Amino acid sequence: MLYVLPVEAGDGTYWGDPLAEIKSHNLHNRFGLICVYPTFSQLPWYADHPEKAEIRQESYLLRVVLPAVEDRYPVLPGPKGRLLVGFSKSGWGALSLLLRYPDVFGRAAAWDAPLAVDRPVHFGMGEIFGTQQNFEEYRILGLLGQRAEVLGRTEGSLRPPRLVLLGYGNFRRDHQIAHNLMETLKIPHVYRDGPYRKHHWQSGWLPEAVQCLVPPSTPG
């Protein structure tokens, strides 16, 4: 299952149509994927508000979307069968979800996302996160430090990479900061600094992201 995470509330397409992009490149058939595109009432930052019960984006995805999808479709059980991809807000969401729930999701790819933001004062964050204290529970750079051991070495060797950082449009520096931190923490990851592309679902980055997420097929 490839969870294609939206960057807009509702079914907005100002930043492009990811399902049309998937179909145009035949990614679902090429890589044997069922692609899931959930929608949210508010701007999706993939967090639960500390006080407003109507803003439970993370809980909605985990407790409603995943069980509903996996009850209806033939899935590969466990984290290996759950992949995340997104850009901008949803690139943040992809990494946040995997880092917070590494036992639920297998791999996550982010393209051109504000990964180094340290306060919820930009891009509609405040309405979703509510407070700085709550934001800290989701802050990407903090989560990387917390999950370094889980995603890093095991029995003296590096684990396979589960995080993918690709290219940029508006947030090159954020990706560089996240990459450098992962290098310092010895977290295996795929990193590609470019090429520059328009900040949009259909600027050409999605096929590469999917290719990086899906492990090679096992013969037979």
Q: Which CATH number is 182's domain given?
A: 3.40.50.1820
Residue 37 lies in a domain: yes
| Rounded-to-integer distance, Cα 187 and Cα 201, Å | 27
Q: What percent of the chain has pLDDT over 90?
A: 92
Residue 51 has pLDDT above 90, yes or no: yes
Given this model, what pLDDT does residue 56 score? 97
28 in any annotated domain: yes
Please tell me which residue, 181 or 220, carries the higher pLDDT value. Answer: 181
Tell me, what's the pLDDT at 220?
Answer: 36
CB atoms closer than 10 angstroms to residue 154: 10
Place of tokens 């933001």: 117
Q: Which residue has the tokens 């990193």?
A: 191
User: pLDDT tier at 216 (50, 70, 90 boundaries)?
Assistant: low
The verdict on residue 8 lying in a domain is yes
Give me the domain span that covers residue 167.
2-213
Is there a contact between 112 and 123 (Cβ–Cβ < 8 Å)? no
pLDDT score recorded for residue 219:
40
Within a domain: 35: yes
- Specify the number of domains making up the chain: 1
Q: Please check whether residue 183 is in contact with residue 155, taking contact to mean a CB–CB distance below 8 angstroms.
A: no
Q: Is the pLDDT of residue 93 over 60?
A: yes
Distance CA 136, CA 152 (A): 22
pLDDT interval class at 159 (50, 70, 90):
confident
Residue 218 lies in a domain: no
Q: Which residue has the tokens 């759950």?
A: 82
Please state the pTM of the whole predicted model: 0.95
Residue 219 falls within a domain, yes or no? no
When pLDDT is cut at 50, 70 and 90, the band that residue 91 belongs to is very high
Decide if pLDDT at 217 tops 60: no
Q: pLDDT band for position 156 (50/70/90)?
A: low
pLDDT given at position 157: 62
Whether residue 85 contacts residue 213, with contact meaning beta carbons closer than 8 Å, is answered with yes
Q: What value does the mean pLDDT of the chain take? A: 94
Q: Sorting pLDDT into bands at 50, 70 and 90, what band is 77?
A: confident
Structure tokens given for 22: 């998937």
Dihedral sign for Cα atoms in the order 66, 90, 147, 151 = positive
Per-residue pLDDT at 210: 97
Structural domain includes residue 90: yes
Q: With respect to residue 172, please indicate whether it lies within any of the assigned structural domains.
A: yes
